[in-house]
Structure 1
């Protein structure tokens, strides 16, 4: 959980995150699972419902349509999604694999776009899905050009939650890999976030040469095999350069 100087907002965001995962929940479920005092939860829920940020149906609370309105407006004003659409579509059409565009949001990566593979094998993901920064190719591509101070702020713990047998176990090992990613220009997820799903990711740079987003090519292990990685990497890097050039015009 991110803590700021405005605790009420932090708590509201906790509730939003919880309900986005649960779909809907009762008052008791919310204050118990989010670990908030009863009185705080009660006043927050009442205020959020009044503003349309949550809706109440009988004894359950759900995300409100006003959040959808805000989300759509944020999506419309985020130009990088529009700038990336054509190059990313071409990448999907050439590779026949699922392609994503993602950005940093708090201490996680989040998908802004997903272009589904035309094949029968589907990688389970969706627009708005949050990703671990250390176990996903896209997350590592976003992290790699950050300073150690920034990385430590986003990932304060030395040891990481393990998702699969290949998940990077700690920050020391991650920083070694991030140095390699900076040198080679791209990141790889070897089934580290989800077993049997591999991912190649490349960063998108703005005018100041800061990484503002990343793209990825994802598929099951035989689709993104060791033999195919060099070819896919070249295509991912070329697409990321094209998008970076478009971003840098603004």
Structure 2
């Protein structure tokens, strides 16, 4: 590992790297695994927990939620909007649906880009709008490839707030749906976030297979019939893959 002139940073990075390859570790496992003295490891772990960079449960330490938040912000800082704009425009034109690009922002999803449908149907959304992770297609696409421990951090409650008659009610039911999303490659919002608005979403991956963003296409019932959903879903998945390829060049 790279050694700098700031030992405290080097030690912190060692701990992060160790925990990133281990699903939680005890104090003894950490200081032995990274080769640090007990005393400095103890104080460093306490500070990282206090700042939310690590999470402590009983005698185990895990990477903290704040690291996910920082990661989301870092992902936003590179110009994914520019990379996604042309493929998303083509998707909008081919489906006649309102298309979005979004990322995870802590416990929410947030729109970075919106391309309005060229038709008369208007979907009420805007750049910067935050969405529920469990009731929106975009949110579910962002969640589906996260480790279960991260899902539990973002959604700690078993029962969810209900927005429409079709909103998923429990985390148990959501996790079953997330497994289906991973299997087929796309998420569906069955008017769960906003009544009368349906959405299909697919993830954008980095070169390591991590989801860094997602795209979605939204419309009303006649635009999302059982006959149209499969072909729209395939177009959305293909577009997300094209954007992933551009990101990873």
The two structures have a TM-score, normalised by structure 2, of 0.70
Which residue is equivalent to 1:215?
Answer: 215
Hey, what's the Cα distance between the residues in 2 that align with 1:143 and 1:207? Answer: 18
SS at match of 1:169: coil
Residue equivalent to 2:233:
233
Q: Which residue of 2 aligns with 1:131?
A: 131
Q: 1:224 to 1:243 in 2, by over 3 A?
A: same
Q: Once superposed, which parts of structure 1, at least 4 consecutive aligned residues long, lie more than 6 Å away? A: none
Structure 2: how far apart are the matches of 1:220 and 1:104?
24
CA distance in 1, matches of 2:206, 2:173: 28
The alignment yields a C-alpha RMSD, in angstroms, of 1.7
Matched, 1:95 2:95: yes
Q: Report the Cα offset of residue 76 of structure 1.
A: 9.0
Matched residues, number: 180
CA–CA distance in structure 2, aligned partners of residues 117 and 79 of structure 1? 23
1:104 pairs with 2:107: no
The residue aligned with 2:83 is 83
Mark the CA change 1:181 to 1:75 in structure 2 (over 3 Å): closer, same or farther: closer
Match of residue 116 from structure 1: 116
Structure 1: 5+ residue stretches without partners: 8-73
Kindly state the Cα deviation for residue 78 of structure 1 after the two structures are TM-superposed.
2.9
Deviation at 1:79, TM superposition (A): 1.3
**Contact persistence 2:135–2:167 (CA under 8 A):** yes
Give the unaligned 5+ runs of structure 2.
1-48, 53-73
* Aligned mates of 1:126, 1:143 — CA distance in 2: 21
- Structure 1 residues 165 and 76: alpha-carbon distance in aligned structure 2, compared to 1, 3 A threshold: closer
Q: How big is each residue's C-alpha offset from its partner over 1:144-175, in whole Å with a ceiling of 9 and x where there is no partner? A: 00111000000001100000110000100000
The SS at the match of 1:222 is helix
**Residues in 2 aligned to 1:98 and 1:199: alpha-carbon distance in whole angstroms:** 9
- 1:17-39 deviation digits (Å, cap 9, x = unpaired): xxxxxxxxxxxxxxxxxxxxxxx
Using the alignment, how far apart are the partners of 1:240 and 1:76 within structure 2? Answer: 16
Deviations 1:180-232 (A, max 9, x none): 00000000000000011000000000010000000001001111111100110
Q: How far apart are the structure 2 equivalents of 1:191 and 1:138?
A: 13
1:120-152 residue CA offsets vs partner (Å, 9 max, x unmatched): 110000000000000000000000001110000
CA contact (8 A) 2:76 2:103 kept: no
Partner of 1:150: 150
Q: Distance in 2 between the 1:231 and 1:126 partners? A: 26
What's the TM-score, normalizing by structure 1? 0.69
Q: Following the alignment from structure 1 to structure 2, what is the Cα–Cα distance between the partners of residues 76 and 106?
A: 12
Residue aligning to 1:201: 201
